[in-house]
Structure 1
Amino acid sequence: MAELRIAVSRLRRELAAHPADFPDRGIAEDELAALAAMAAGGIPETPRLRRSLLLVAGAIGSVSALSTRLADVRSAVELFGEPPRR
């Protein structure tokens, strides 16, 4: 939980400080807030974590300045287990 809280917090700070505005910034901010709430509220549901991560990645994936922090969030989400195989 601590790694997820830290990773989300860092990405939120970097996103807030990032000067460029992009179309899906609001989506990224909303989903990062949801991830922060899940991390603060106990053990979150893994599918919901992954959904939020996917939305954040889709929203800011093209902003290379945020890629390191996004990778940190992804790593933290992966600590909750692998996605189900299809």
Structure 2
Amino acid sequence: MGQTRLTGSGEDPRATELRAAVSRLRRELAGHPVDFPDRDIAEDELAVLAAMVSSGEPEVPRMRRSLLLIAGAVGSVSALGSALMQVRQAVDLFGETPPRGRG
């Protein structure tokens, strides 16, 4: 998708963006005062995304699966909406959103 590496860093800018987005959502989730049933799922899947981006070999289908699980877990918590959207946008940098099937 025409992404270039940052001069001197050697890191894919998409990975930098995803790392920052995951970090932000993790911080906001940790600071959120209200517990909710799927919080552990969100934390686990954010850890999966962080590990993938650190490995340097993120698997786009697995990233999308993690994103769906995170969105399902925190989607109803409006205070986390902006940080969740940032994660979604960062995942989207790794490839086009697959077309939805009709049926």
TM (normalized to structure 2)? 0.81
Task: Tell me the equivalent position of 1:55.
Answer: 69
Q: Please report how far the alpha carbon of residue 82 of structure 1 lies from its aligned counterpart in structure 2 after TM superposition.
A: 1.2
Select the residue among 21, 24, 41 that pairs with 1:7. 21
Give 5+ residue unaligned stretches, structure 2: 1-14
1:84, distance to aligned residue in structure 2 (A): 3.1
If each structure's helix is expressed as a fraction of its own residues, which one has the higher value? 1
Q: Which runs of 5+ in 1 are unaligned?
A: none
In the alignment, the residues of structure 1 paired with residue 54 and residue 62 of structure 2 have an alpha-carbon distance, to the nearest angstrom, of: 14
For residues 28-54 of structure 1, the C-alpha deviation after alignment (integer angstroms, 9 at most, x for no partner) is 000001011011110301000000000
Partner Cα separation in structure 2 for residue 68 and residue 48 of structure 1: 22
> 1:78 & 1:2 partners in 2: Cα distance?
13
Number of the residue aligned with 1:66: 80
TM-score (norm 1): 0.96
Which residue of structure 2 lines up, in the alignment, with residue 33 of structure 1? 47
Higher alpha-carbon Rg:
2
- Superposition RMSD in Å: 0.8
Regions of 4+ moved over 4 Å: none
Structure 1 residue identity aligned to 2:29: L
| Distance in structure 2 (CA, Å) of the matches to 1:68 and 1:78 | 15
Highest RCO, 1 vs 2 (Cα 8 Å, sep ≥ 6): 1
